[in-house]
Amino acid sequence: MAAARQSERGRIPPHPDVRAISTQQVLEALVDPVRRHIVGELHAAREDLSCGTIELPVSKSTATHHFHVLREAGLIRQYYVGTSRMNALRREEFDEVFPGLLRALVTGHARESDARREA
């Protein structure tokens, strides 16, 4: 392979193997509402999203922190496209190790978002 693919250029630290992630780590990641929002949006969008396209009520540096935590918890995979860092939900991989968990939480996310909108 003569040239590294564009997606690989932006030295993003290696992603963890989901099988090496503990329930503890996953819950610590998902207990934060901002991070749960990110996961919910990625799940609903059904496509990869750049950090910037997900509206968050925090500063950019804080957002970076949250994406970092999600990546370390095996929930998202990140790669660069130009200057944008893309985020992909690691659905299948995650589901194999924590069956039903993502579904259960995203259900709650959707339900409570609806409730907010109706209010």
Partner DNA sequence: ATCAAAGTTTGACAGTGATCGTACTTCCTG
Partner DNA sequence: CAGGAAGTACGATCACTGTCAAACTTTGAT
The residues binding a second copy (CB under 8 A) are: 22-24, 26-28, 30-31, 33, 36, 98-101, 103-105, 107-109, 112
| CB 82 to DNA: min, Å | 3
22 binds DNA (CB under 7 A): no
14 binds DNA (CB under 7 A): no
95 binds DNA (CB under 7 A): no
Angle between helix 101-118 and helix 33-45 axes, rounded to 10 deg:
100
Q: Do 39 and 75 meet the contact criterion of CB atoms below 8 Å apart? A: yes
* Residue 48 binds which of DNA, a second copy, none (CB < 5-8 A, kind-dependent): none
Question: Residues of 27-58 as b/e, b for ≥16 C-beta within 10 angstroms?
Answer: eebbeeebbbbbbbbbbeeeebbebeebebee
What would the two tokens of residue 51 be? Answer: 């950090």
Pick 47 or 92: Cβ nearer DNA:
47
